Amino acid sequence: MTETVSFKPPVRERAEAQSAEMTEEQAKCVRQVANELHRLNQAVIQLVESGVSVEILRTSRHHADGAWGDMVVPVVVRR
């Protein structure tokens, strides 16, 4: 049995709202990450629909000037 999830999280909308009080450069970077996450989510959907399970895991954290960001990798499991 295949379960299809039709919920699409509003990644772009949330990113825009969160970047309202940022510099233009920061807001541009937020939009870039949101766009790439959307592409990643689409790729995950395609992979799962092809019969492969995948989990995205945080492997490390990048730190700079008091800010941080998660670095991630896919863990793929074939059926």
pLDDT tens across the length of the chain (79 residues):
455 555 655 666 776 777 778 899 998 998 899 899 999 999 999 999 999 999 999 999 999 999 999 999 999 987 6
CB atoms within 10 A of CB 15: 19
3-state class of 1 per DSSP?
coil
Whether residue 1 is contained in a domain is answered as: no
Q: Phi-psi region for residue 30, left (φ > 0), alpha (ψ -120 to 50) or beta? A: alpha
Report the alpha-carbon distance of residue 22 to residue 39 in Å, rounded: 24
Q: Is the pTM of this model over 0.85?
A: no
3-state class of 3 per DSSP?
coil
Whether residue 73 is contained in a domain is answered as: yes
Whether residue 45 is contained in a domain is answered as: yes
Residue numbers of the domain that contains 43: 11-78
Give alpha helix (H) positions in the chain. Answer: 11-18, 24-49
Number of structural domains found in the chain: 1
